[in-house]
Amino acid sequence: MRRRSALMLMLVGSRLLAATPKPAEIPEGSTSLLGKTGPTWRFSSAGGGNAKMAVFDVAGMPFNQAIRLTHTLRPKQSWSIQAVTELNGNISKGDVCLMVFWVRSPESADESGDGVAAPFVQKNSAPHTKILRARITAGREWRQITLPFRSKLNLKMGASNGGFHLGFHPQTLEIGGFQLLNYGENSPLSALPRMKITYKGREPAAAWRQEARDRIEKHRKGNLAVTVLNADGTPAVEADVKVEMTRHAFGFGTALTARWLASDTPNGDAYREIVKSHYNKMVFENDLKWGPWKVSQDNKHRTFRKEWLDEALRWLQSNNIPARGHWLSWGSVTSGGQKQYVGKAAEHRHDLFAHIREKVGHVGTRVCEWDVINHPVGWGVTYEELHGSLDFHVDIFKLCREAIPKGIGLWINEGQILPGGGRRGDYERILRYLIEHGQTPDGIGFMGHFGTGSLTPIPEIYHVYDRYAKLVPNLQITEFDVNVGGDEQLQADYLRDFMTITFSHPHVNGIVMWGFWAGKHWKPEAALYRKDWSIKPAGKAWDDLVLNQWWTRETVRTDPAGHCTVRGFLGEYKITAKEGKREATTSVALSADGESCTVTLPAGK
């Protein structure tokens, strides 16, 4: 078990929004704990992965040099890779101190695109007791981090150090302007600067909001004309017409597990009830991936079983909830359960194609679409590197068009396009290659795993959609979550704004959450419901948009011709006409072209 630090912080950097960021105001009256020369970095790595540190010059920032820290494998412990500088000053118990530095992450293997580091101040000998330990994330642009803390120990010069644990996912981090300042015991901690995490476009009066509302009104709604007649064919005048939406045309989905859908427990009941009442689409988080598929076949695995998958598919069909198939291939050989194929292209091709045929043959038409290639850009040893060209991607699509029943969509799916943006160019390159070689995907998927270092400006999200819609005008958010630590309001605000700008784009057809319950979520803090099923602000934001603001419920009255019109969100409707004790109901689907229907009341009074 890790030692518990005297001060545990969860402070993270957000995406930089200006070319020259404004530094925080650092109060005077401190003593530097690094002396006049600043930090003298010592780098160590017990984690392998080509870990290294380099010093480089920086222009246009409040510092002239920075360190670049890179590693390509994730070690078992975060402290297996670290950069450390000795303290050149004393810290007494009760002293108020401030760690300040600038950081960015040009490359990261994390789905969000964020780099991660754990800053610390500690005794430099066992048991390395810490007076500061934090966890910060960094986006692709420089961000200043300020970490104020009060020491609970006496640390003598020569017996203490500070720095960063770096052994998280493969990444490149750059750090500059590092300071450690001591303000003494009489300085108030509240006087020191604290970071405010936010994002561009959060402002209530941001211009994008009205533009999005206008697009939603134009692209997501249609005119529903209702005529109500009496039994003899005459107009029913001043009849009450209740227009109730029953299903949205837009896909509002979530990732699920077959095990929980098939679970005969109170939590399983709650899980299924939330799915039925809040989502009209789903994707299996892991059950249809290559590794889980293989271990599920004998129905003995504790997490993945074929019988659970089949039961889950039956339940989804009975509740009219279409399922996405995720995935048929994963474009990085060094992940996705494919490491054994490095250097074995022919064996990989044979086994992957056999697996695809087996899986799509069993699933058949019980999914509405497949992620044919997941992470085509990827990292490490990619399909492109293993097989020598992008022709292998073309061959995968050709196989799937032959093996998968007609009418099931063939999608491609990648991350770090919306958050971070580091794979945008390569994703477009691969898409263009597929198009030029006659294998245009039916849709383009975007993973949307946002962290505090990758809260992309809301207007930028819309421009990214525009860029890819020019290639394939059928887009979907396939894996959406917002993980910003304990700031539940920030999570709710970004979820609300991201969903709004996305719903406003005419070429996006769905938003699929990557889970909703903290009891079964890859990042529990990103869930919409806590483990005890209490709803978080982000869950309330989802409900308000999907089930309130973007849901049509209206009651209108017919005119002298028996007509009335409602402008509603696209989807399926139940129409109930009532005049006195006479009542009749019909169903209708509203498309962007509009729809009309006639309801005939029964005879009588």
**Mind spelling out the 3-state secondary structure of 226-240?**
EEEECCCCCECCCCE
Mean pLDDT of the 528-551 span: 98
Q: For the CA atoms of 469, 475, 481, 487, what is the dihedral angle to 10 degrees?
A: 40
Contact at 8 Å (CB) between 601 and 582? yes
What is the distance between the terminal CA atoms of the chain, rounded to a whole angstrom?
77
HSE-CB at 281 with a 13 A cutoff on CA atoms is 21
Token pair listed for 319? 């509740």
Backbone region of residue 462 per phi and psi (left: phi > 0; alpha: psi in -120 to 50; beta: other values): alpha
Contact at 8 Å (CB) between 72 and 170? yes
pLDDT band at 14 (very low <50, low <70, confident <90, very high): very low
Q: What is the pLDDT of residue 4?
A: 32
Judged on CB neighbours under 10 Å (0-12, 13-18, 19+), 91 is buried
Q: What is the pLDDT of residue 575?
A: 98
- pLDDT of 190 > 60? The answer is yes
For 315, residues 6+ apart whose C-beta sits below 8 A from its C-beta are: 261, 262, 272
Phi, psi of 170 (to 5 degrees): -55, 135
- Residue 373 identity: I
* pLDDT above 70 as % of the chain: 96
Token pair listed for 368? 């509405």
The partner residues of 512 in beta bridges, in order of sequence, read: 253
CA geometry: angle at 283 spanning 278 and 284, to 5°?
Answer: 120
Mean pLDDT of the 514-525 span: 97
Q: Encode pLDDT of 214-264 as tens digits.
A: 999 999 999 999 999 999 999 999 999 999 999 999 999 999 999 999 999
Q: Encode pLDDT of 504-516 as tens digits.
A: 999 999 999 999 9
CA 86 – CA 105 distance, rounded (Å): 24
Q: What is the pLDDT of residue 75?
A: 87
For 605, residues 6+ apart whose C-beta sits below 8 A from its C-beta are: 580, 581, 582
SS3 of residue 364 by DSSP? helix
Phi, psi of 100 (to 5 degrees): -130, 135
Let me know how long the chain is. 605
Token pair listed for 264? 């005969």
Instruction: Give whole-number Cα distances, 413 to 6, 224, 278, 405, 427, in Å.
Output: 43, 35, 24, 20, 9
CA 51 – CA 43 distance, rounded (Å): 9
- pLDDT of 19 > 50? The answer is no
CA 16 – CA 21 distance, rounded (Å): 7
| DSSP label of 299 | S
Q: Of 212, 241, 215, whose CA–CA distance to 229 is shortest? A: 241
Q: Encode pLDDT of 349-400 as tens digits.
A: 999 999 999 999 999 999 999 999 999 999 889 999 999 999 999 999 999 9
CA 573 – CA 595 distance, rounded (Å): 11
**Average per-residue pLDDT in the chain?**
93
Q: Encode pLDDT of 38-93 as tens digits.
A: 999 999 988 666 899 999 999 999 999 999 999 988 888 888 999 999 999 999 99
CA geometry: angle at 262 spanning 258 and 265, to 5°?
Answer: 130
Token pair listed for 401? 């068009």
| DSSP label of 602 | P
pTM for the structure as a whole: 0.89
